[in-house]
Structure formats: C-alpha cells, structure tokens
Amino acid sequence: MGPLRKMLANAGVTEQQWRVLRVLKEEGPQEPTHIAERACLLLPSLTRILQKLEGKGLIARRVHPGDKRRQIIDITAKGEQIIQDNMQVTLRLAEDIRTQLGPERHEALLDLLNDLHDLKA
C-alpha cells in the first residue's frame, strides 16, 4: 500500500476519496447509498468524504429528478483528471502485485476478496 498511498498523497486525495472517485468514474452518477456500497464505506463516513470532495471541486451534487429529498453525485472534470493522471500508476502497481503473487495466488486473492464482499451483502 505504500506506493499507492504516496501516489494518492501526491494527487491530494485519500484512499477512501480515491475509491469514491473511481466508483463514480466507472459507474456514473449515483446516489450516496450505492456509492457507499460500491466503495465499501459506511454511509456516515461517505457523507464526510463527499463534503471534502465537493470542497475540492472533484464531485458535484444535484437533486434526484424523481425525489427532491434524494441526491445524485457525479464526478467533475477535475475529479476525472485526477483519475486519468494517476491511472497508469495504479495499473502498474496492480500488475506489480500480480507479478509478486503469481497468477494463481493473485486469482485466489481476488476470489477471496469477492467472497468477502458477498458475505457483507
């Protein structure tokens, strides 16, 4: 995690903020509840993270078109730029982990992480 944390620090975001930005970039605008689930965060924590990201201009909020009590969160161009600027580093770090573990152990790790995710669902 050291190299990833260094990259994120240089980008000016935390690990949790990075996960939120990645969810929004990969899956598009969505409600906070879904973001929390996809980014493996508790909703109260996500609320604080969204405030910080909004303050940095990395996300935008809008009222849900079908229910004015709900919100839709979207990544901004500035947030997308952070993802784009750091994507090659994250891909390289992921490949380094795969290389160090070997293909079989890497697949086993991914399977275990998926199983763990499914347990909480």
Please give, one letter per residue, the 3-state secondary structure of the chain.
Answer: CHHHHHHHHHHCCCHHHHHHHHHHHHHCCECHHHHHHHCCCCHHHHHHHHHHHHHCCCEEEEEECCEEEEEEEEECHHHHHHHHHHHHHHHHHHHHHHHHHCHHHHHHHHHHHHHHHHHHC
Tell whether pTM > 0.95: no
- Which tokens belong to 67? 């229910």
85 CA to centre of own chain: 15
Structural domain spans, the chain: 2-120
Give yes or no for residue 121 having a pLDDT over 60.
no
Assign domain 2-120 one CATH number from 2.40.50.100, 1.10.10.10, 3.40.50.150, 3.90.1150.150.
1.10.10.10
Give yes or no for residue 120 having a pLDDT over 70.
no
Percent of the chain with pLDDT over 90: 72
1-60 per-position pLDDT tens digit: 677 888 899 999 999 999 999 999 999 999 999 999 999 899 999 999 999 999 999 999
